Amino acid sequence: MLQPAQKNVSGPTRTAEVLEVLRTEILTVSRHPGERLRFDELRRTYDVGISPLREALMHLASEGLVVSEERRGYRVAPVSKSDLRQIARLRGEFDSLAIRDSTEHGDDHWEGRVVAAFHALLKRPKVHADGTIDAQWEANHVRFHAALVSACTMQKLLSFRQILELQAQRYRRISALYASVARDDVAEHTAIRDAALDRNADLVGELIREHYRKTVEALLAGIEEDRFDGFS
């Protein structure tokens, strides 16, 4: 929980604090899809003023993590099969473009970032015994995919990609809890790493798209078994 606001804490700083906490709660599904975000409740919970709270919610809306309802405030963005498929398809296309550009412009330092990020990814188990995703694995996973595109010269593409990555993180956590299809994440990531380091942009594009497609398959299979009722 946020600490009570102090007089010397600036507005932008307080907004950043609230934004970080709310984003984390949404991405970890602590706040459920479709949950109403009531201003009075949030102000009491985080001991924060209305202006920083409103700014944080507006920022989350720009990231697609909350939705604004006219005259009714905000809700956590709902989840749906259609939304999941769109995110996966767009991520596959955006990442393919960004990695292709990285393979063209990346130097030894780019290769080093990819290798180091992959090594870190293997250091942690993906899922705990209770089915929740390991927080450090998740951070390493984000870092690995970010390293793959880190030599991309198209900043607008990277900005769009980052929004999709945030939205995908929530689905990834739901997938770990409810997916019923076994996956060999290590093999998938190893193949992606090798293709990237070989500068084989066509192959790594195919592998990335397949990687995201399998995430959709795994989650939707669990939904069909009625293991998660939050999808429409």
Domain ranges of the chain: 11-76, 81-224
- In tens, the pLDDT along 71-104 reads 778 999 999 889 999 999 999 999 999 999 999 9
Q: Who wins on pLDDT, 201 or 127?
A: 201
Tokens representing 133 are 């995703």
What pLDDT does 158 receive? 97
**Residue 227 predicted with pLDDT over 50:** no
What pLDDT does 172 receive? 82
The model's pTM is 0.82
Given a contact cutoff of 8 angstroms between Cβ atoms, the answer to whether 174 and 219 are in contact is yes
Determine what percent of the chain falls in helix, strand and coil, rounding each to the nearest 5: 65, 5, 30
What pLDDT does 38 receive? 93
**Which neighbouring-strand residues pair with 69?**
73
C-alpha span between 151 and 101 (Å, rounded): 7
- In tens, the pLDDT along 212-221 reads 998 888 778 7
Confidence of residue 54 (pLDDT cuts 50, 70, 90): very high
What pLDDT does 222 receive? 64
Window from 8-22, 35-49, 115-129 with minimum mean pLDDT:
8-22
Query: Which amino acid, one-letter code, is at 82?
Result: S
DSSP code per residue over 106-134: --HHHHHHHHHHHHHHTTS-SB-TTSPBP
- The mean of the pLDDT values for the chain is 87
**Residue 44 predicted with pLDDT over 50:** yes
CATH fold for domain 11-76: Arc Repressor Mutant, subunit A (1.10.10)
Window from 48-57, 151-160, 223-232 with minimum mean pLDDT:
223-232
- In tens, the pLDDT along 193-206 reads 999 999 999 999 99
C-alpha span between 203 and 63 (Å, rounded): 30
Report domain 81-224's class. Answer: mainly alpha
Window from 48-57, 145-154, 215-224 with minimum mean pLDDT:
215-224
Query: Which amino acid, one-letter code, is at 95?
Result: D
